[in-house]
Chain A
Amino acid sequence: MSTVRIGPLLPPWSYGFIVAFALWIVTISATGPSRAGGTLVATVAFAAFSVLVGTGQMLVIASGPGNIDLSIPSVMTLAAYLAMSAMHESDGLVFLGLAVALGVGVVAGALNYAAIALLRLPPIIATLAWSFVFQSFAIDFGGEATLKPPPVLAASTTFRAAGIPILPGAVVVLTLIVMVVLRRTVFGRSLLAAGQSERAAYLAGVEVGWVRLWAYALCGGLGALAGYLLAGFTGGAALNMGDIYLMESIAVVVLGGTSVAGGDANAIGIWGAALFFNLLGIMLNTFRFQAGVRLFLTGVLIIAIVALVPHARARA
């Protein structure tokens, strides 16, 4: 079976990049070409965080219909709080802090999947319920204050080599690794197989439960990593630091060409969608649209892109 394509024969992941590029052109046509580089650097710096959480979300969404992680913002916050308090602003402890953050994230992801698999809760409920628990822990761990990062962490998240911020570069490398893992490794193939048909994957010998557990754990780990780095980048862990990433983590995955029905993941497309989201905000600010118009344009553009993106090829 094959779906009829109406649009031009471009891969689904390219649409985010195209629209992002168009927004960039529109923005710099209003502000002048001399601002083009600065706008791009600022966009890429923030898009990197969206890509980190989006990549985790993508692994979960691709692992099967209905799988989604709504606990990402609270995992980011909790991991950032615990990591910052483990480091006490001490430069020597940045790796300890990183380990704490990753540990928190992986455990949180595993707890998410445990609630789904053992209690048979729908993922949307299980991860939302855990998110309240994680957020409560974060409040208990000094929710009355912003916890500062060690100076080295703060400096390294904003470090530039020859004018190019280094953190987004590292995230690009991560994206490439995830692409290879999805295409070439047993885990990647198993994840997509489980996402396409749980029963067929099971009959083919894929341990669906383990694969999904890994997907959730990796998602938690990537969210926690994003929280850790974001705390360094923005000057501290705050209770509401993850709030904007709930919607964004899902939106960048869907706009990036990953199928919500599972079984088809697109890691590079997340970058296009993340650039689109961040440039959209910059463009709306540049033209100083009223609050209502901003929300309207955001909604219309998202619907338009999702409608235009050709549906992923149905597999024979």
Chain B
Amino acid sequence: MNKMRHAWRKWRAALVLGLALVPMLASITRADGIATGDTSRIRIAFSNSYAGNSFRQVMIRDFQDAAAQAVKEGKIKGYTVVSSNASVTEQASQMQNLILQGYNAIIILAGSDTALNGAVKDACDAGIVVVAFASGVTEPCAYRVDYDLDTYGQAEMNYFASRFGTKPTNLLEIRGLAGDGFDKRLHAGVEKALAEYPNFKIVGQVYGEWTSTVAQKEVAGILPSLPTIGGVLTQGGDGYGAAMAFEAAGRKLPIIIMGNRQDELALWKKERAAEGYETISLGATPSVSQAAFWVAQQILAGKKVPKFVQVPLLQIHQDDLDAWLAKVPDGGVADADFSQALTVAIIDANADHKPIPGIPAPK
């Protein structure tokens, strides 16, 4: 019985693979790079490791919006989202279910960069296109859509350099979760950039867990022991809490790199009006789920996609602060759709080793 099922699974895998190859052979890539192979019968699933914060809630909705629109336009047949509660074993078993349900592609925000390799491999073996995004998955059969976190730290340090020049300046670094991969990679980028600017010194370091309340608590705790701080390095979600801690301690607001949250942008605008406060804001966008969705769709439509697709961070500068602030929902995070066309342009830039197109500011 078991053997039969195994054989059937193998056959089905071959069948699925064959069916996936058919559009690939028939695919036509248009001049703008968008592959137009028939994907009207495919179904794409989103396996999400955690849904317990507002960023992930918007991320799920963004995926659903893009997928629902694609269904309407006949670009795909169906989609689904499954979230596990920050448990990799749960996510692995959900992956197995998605494989059994015969999805053609799975985009995955993995809760671990190694623990899901088995499930990812099983999916690849069943002929499913797997796109891991905004999280490292080390299984080589998966496509990856991710940020270059070196550029995150680099952009923060470059901005400080543009403001302070070579003046000796104390910095406070707010990191993410102790031991987390994203935090380690971003911090490595900061360290690398720090080597170029010897006048900057990180005098304090706390773990804000990308959460305003935690960041506020940790910064408030260390602040009494610190000298005057010129700038605060952040990782997103922690800037407002840091500002509250500085305010509560009766200190002058340093240059805090904001993380695209509405409360941060509103504070920035208020301080700009009051005393010409200047900073930048950058961060990941929840809509990265859409980029992963379109990458999966394009692979199935026959487009040749590199195994690693770098996606841009959303940067907000002094000039387009008002435009972004008008667009961000109250208490939300700045977000911008990754359309099919933008995603394809990003894929092509990656393939040709050209600069990645940025996310345009709203008009």
Contacts and interface: CB of A to CB of B under 8 A. Distances in A.
Tell which of B53, B217, B244 has the most Cβ of chain A within 10 Å.
B217
Q: How large is the interface on B (under 10, 10 to 19, 20 to 34, 35 or more residues)?
A: 35 or more
A244 B224 CA distance: 23
A135 B57 CA distance: 13
Interface stretch (B104-112, B156-164, B324-332): B324-332
A185 interface: no
Q: How large is the interface on A (under 10, 10 to 19, 20 to 34, 35 or more residues)?
A: 35 or more
B216 A234 contact: yes
Interface of A: 27-28, 30-32, 35, 37-39, 41-43, 45-46, 135, 139, 142-148, 158, 230, 233-236, 238-241, 243-244, 278, 281-282, 285-286, 288, 291-292, 294-295
17 contacts: A31-B224, A35-B225, A39-B224, A146-B54, A146-B212, A146-B261, A235-B240, A236-B331, A238-B54, A238-B211, A238-B213, A239-B52, A241-B211, A281-B218, A285-B207, A285-B222, A288-B204
A235 B211 CA distance: 12
A241 B52 CA distance: 10
A230 to B, nearest CB: 7
Interface string B104-146: 0000000000000000000000000000000000000000000
Given A144-B61, A235-B241, A286-B225, A295 B213 contact: no
Nearest to A142: B331
Contacts of B204: 285, 288
Nearest to B211: A240
Nearest to B51: A139
B221 A278 contact: yes
B54 A148 contact: no
A38 B223 contact: yes
A1 B214 CA distance: 46
Interface in B241-272: 241, 244, 248-249, 261-263
B70 interface: no
B54 A42 contact: no
B287 to A, nearest CB: 13
B206 interface: yes
Contacts of B344: none
B58 interface: yes
